[in-house]
Amino acid sequence: MSSMFMYVHENHGLSPTAGNAPQLAYTLSVLVLAVVLSASRRVALGEMRDEEGNEVDQAGFYDVIFGRRDVRGQFNGEPLNPAVLGRILTAAHAAPSVGMSQPWDFVLVEALPTRQAFHEHVQSERAIFEASLDDEARKRFSGIKIEGILDASLGIVVTYDPERGSPHVLGRHAIADAGLYSVCLAIENLWLAATAEEVGVGWVSFYREEFLAELIGLPAGLRPVAWLCVGPVTHFERVPDLERFQWQARRPLEPHLFVDRFGTPLNDSELIALPTKLMASD
């Protein structure tokens, strides 16, 4: 799998340091722009060029998006390269945020006792959820691994600080959750960067916020949005776990596209032409 970060570093001589963060963010934004190209440009993979005329690896970009997995059981336990982790977190910190508030922090959890305590808490929450299922669902759920807390090289807790940028956070006065959405964008950046680096990420959500906040010593007011299991993997599954274990199937895009008003289908609209493929490996 190609690496967007190595592309930036090798072709532009940029490393993720504070001094060149604007250039790095700009170059990455050129890659992200591929998402909104027309279908004809998407099919003609490789046409896009950056501001210096260098060809951008569009195929690799889409491979990262569709190859991303919520990793549970594929961590190999090997140490995570510090330089790789630095690039991944720099990408996360380059995410867009409401009012440029950047309301996130990243707590790197390496201590085994902390991870063991969190693992035990997550298992207790798994039991609570399992007890709520009917027999058929419980049977399917029994084979699904929900976390890799002790298997991954590292835990990363991503937090949300609603006071960051206060009292006047531009763009948040009407939508209070815009700051929380910003944190989710940082998590997505982290996830895609990790995938490009062939590093696995698994988002653990079987926990109570109060427990995790106390476990890692969060100041009052900060919310733990995600515990991410992060580390090298043996491989990425081609099919997501929840599809493989028949818990949930991926929905097609077409039924969720509307024109002008919710519920008005596209029909024969020429506004959008859906691609037949986006991954070079298809």
The better pLDDT of the pair 202, 273 is held by 202
Per-residue pLDDT tens digits for 124-148: 999 999 999 999 999 999 999 999 9
Q: In the structure, what pLDDT confidence band is assigned to residue 4 with cuts at 50, 70 and 90?
A: very low
Instruction: Work out the number of other CB atoms within 10 angstroms of the CB of residue 268.
Output: 5
Give mean pLDDT, residues 50-58: 69
Distance between CA atoms of residues 220 and 206, nearest Å: 21
Its pTM stands at 0.78
The answer, yes or no, to whether residue 47 has pLDDT greater than 80, is no
In angstroms, the CA 243 to CA 63 distance is 19
As a whole number of angstroms, the longest Cα–Cα distance in the chain is 59
DSSP assignments along 222-264, one per residue? -EEEEEEEEEEBS---SS-HHHHTTS-PPPPSGGG-BSSSTT-
Task: Give residues with Cβ within 8 angstroms of 136, minimum separation 6.
Answer: none
Phi, psi of 271 (to 5 degrees): -65, -35
HSE, CB side, 13 Å, CA atoms: give it for residue 85: 16
pLDDT tens digits for range 170-209: 889 898 899 999 999 999 999 999 999 999 999 999 999 9
- Which is it for strands 104-109 and 154-160: parallel, antiparallel or unpaired? antiparallel
Task: Domain ranges for the chain, please list them.
Answer: 1-67+271-282, 68-250
Instruction: Select the highest-mean-pLDDT range: 12-16, 50-54, 170-174, 221-225.
Output: 221-225
Helices (H) and strands (E) in the chain, counts: 10, 4
Distance CA 125, CA 121 (A): 6
Structure token digits, residue 100? 């440029």
Q: What is the pLDDT of residue 19?
A: 52
DSSP 55: B
Q: What letter represents residue 251's amino acid?
A: R
Convert the pLDDT of each residue in 100-129 to its tens digit: 888 999 999 999 999 999 999 999 999 999
CATH class assigned to 68-250: alpha beta
